[in-house]
Structure 1
């Protein structure tokens, strides 16, 4: 089983899911986790989906309303019917009957189209105010203001948090096992990350590779020396 680091954003997703599932009757059932790419939103939501048996779909740029409904139904282990209205009824019926949450990742692709946003609202309302968690980029709350009937149904806006030193320490056993990464080097990784969990993970994997070659059991900033670290910046030619 894939191990998941217990970072702060994972706990934020858990709290959002709990708030949606135990909310008072009559309250809206949508929540949005938003933040820059690399903050670990998808990984955290996937982990919580596995814990809670939520349905999880990750949008793609080329998806249509029909594609989204097909993917949702496949995630529900239901064979999609042919038409959009029929598939919508199938998905709504299952959401209402199961009481399970639907998580839609990369929701920014939906906000390119009025019809896609309205389709997700239909899933929420037709599924008996089914809890739905949306994952998107930093400007998702502003983008959704265009659709007041949708925006007003969002119970929780959750800003994903930048990677912290505590998060970095939690990532070490997964991406750099059997190597003691000292605090000064972890601090450097966090500082260079620009808030991105992904960049810290990439650097920890690189440290693990170097440690295997060099035979290090522990590594600090001095041991690492002037070896490069990944920052996400585009490389520059030295000519």
Structure 2
């Protein structure tokens, strides 16, 4: 929201592009949906196979406008629609994929320049470096904002929002935060495990003692398992 408001309230002579970047699982997409709902932003998530035409069609769909004509026609329609309300942001998630499709990043730059609306790209940790070689876009970025890991206060808020009457004790909140490395996606998965534990044990408060030997979700894959024959040989 800070990034979005910075772009919305910028001086007229300043560029209107922003980049929100960070490792997977930090909650970038959820944060963008929150900003979308608060600001009536137009938000699209780039697909792996999208062409320029598909991108423009999806933006027009989100704008509730018909998509007719050539690629040039579609681009003009997008610019006109977003230009009607230049405070309305365009949020482009999975923006790393823009750089893998010829012309997609350039059409996004053109839309922002002509419409004058805030344009926010959301992508992985290396997105700023990837954009550095695209000078025409890179020098238009007004604000680079990195997504931050969750702390225990965030875990507490997520627990209150998602655990439906189950209390997660502070000691377990701290351990979930540590084991999850501050990644929101992992935290939510571990909170769901706490809900399962509460239901299975018939309790309303889950602390470290109640968690017991349950495994934490850390995204670390399990190691290779030995076959029965290998186990006999190792014995």
TM-score for both structures, normalised by structure 1:
0.91
Summarize the alignment of residues 1-239 of structure 1 with structure 2, pairs less than 5 Å apart: 14-99=1-86, 100-127=88-115, 129-239=116-226
**1:79 alignment partner, SS class:** coil
Structure 1: give runs of 5+ residues left out of the alignment. Answer: 1-13
Tell me how far apart the structure 1 counterparts of residues 93 and 99 of structure 2 sit (CA, whole Å).
12
Aligned match of 1:9: none
Contact 2:85 2:117 in 1 (8 A): no
Please report how far the alpha carbon of residue 175 of structure 1 lies from its aligned counterpart in structure 2 after TM superposition. Answer: 2.4
Tell me the alpha carbon deviations over residues 49-108 of structure 1, each in whole angstroms, 9 at most, x when there is no partner.
Answer: 011111010111111111100000000000111311000000000111022111000000
Aligned match of 1:6: none
Runs of 4+ off more than 4 Å: none
TM-score for both structures, normalised by structure 2:
0.93
Please report how far the alpha carbon of residue 174 of structure 1 lies from its aligned counterpart in structure 2 after TM superposition. Answer: 2.5
Tell me how far apart the structure 2 counterparts of residues 21 and 238 of structure 1 sit (CA, whole Å).
54
Aligned match of 1:5: none
Structure 2: give runs of 5+ residues left out of the alignment. Answer: 227-235
Tell me how far apart the structure 2 counterparts of residues 149 and 122 of structure 1 sit (CA, whole Å).
10
**1:98 alignment partner, SS class:** coil
Number of matched residues? Answer: 225
**2:142 alignment partner, SS class:** strand
Tell me how far apart the structure 2 counterparts of residues 171 and 55 of structure 1 sit (CA, whole Å).
26
Tell me how far apart the structure 2 counterparts of residues 124 and 73 of structure 1 sit (CA, whole Å).
15
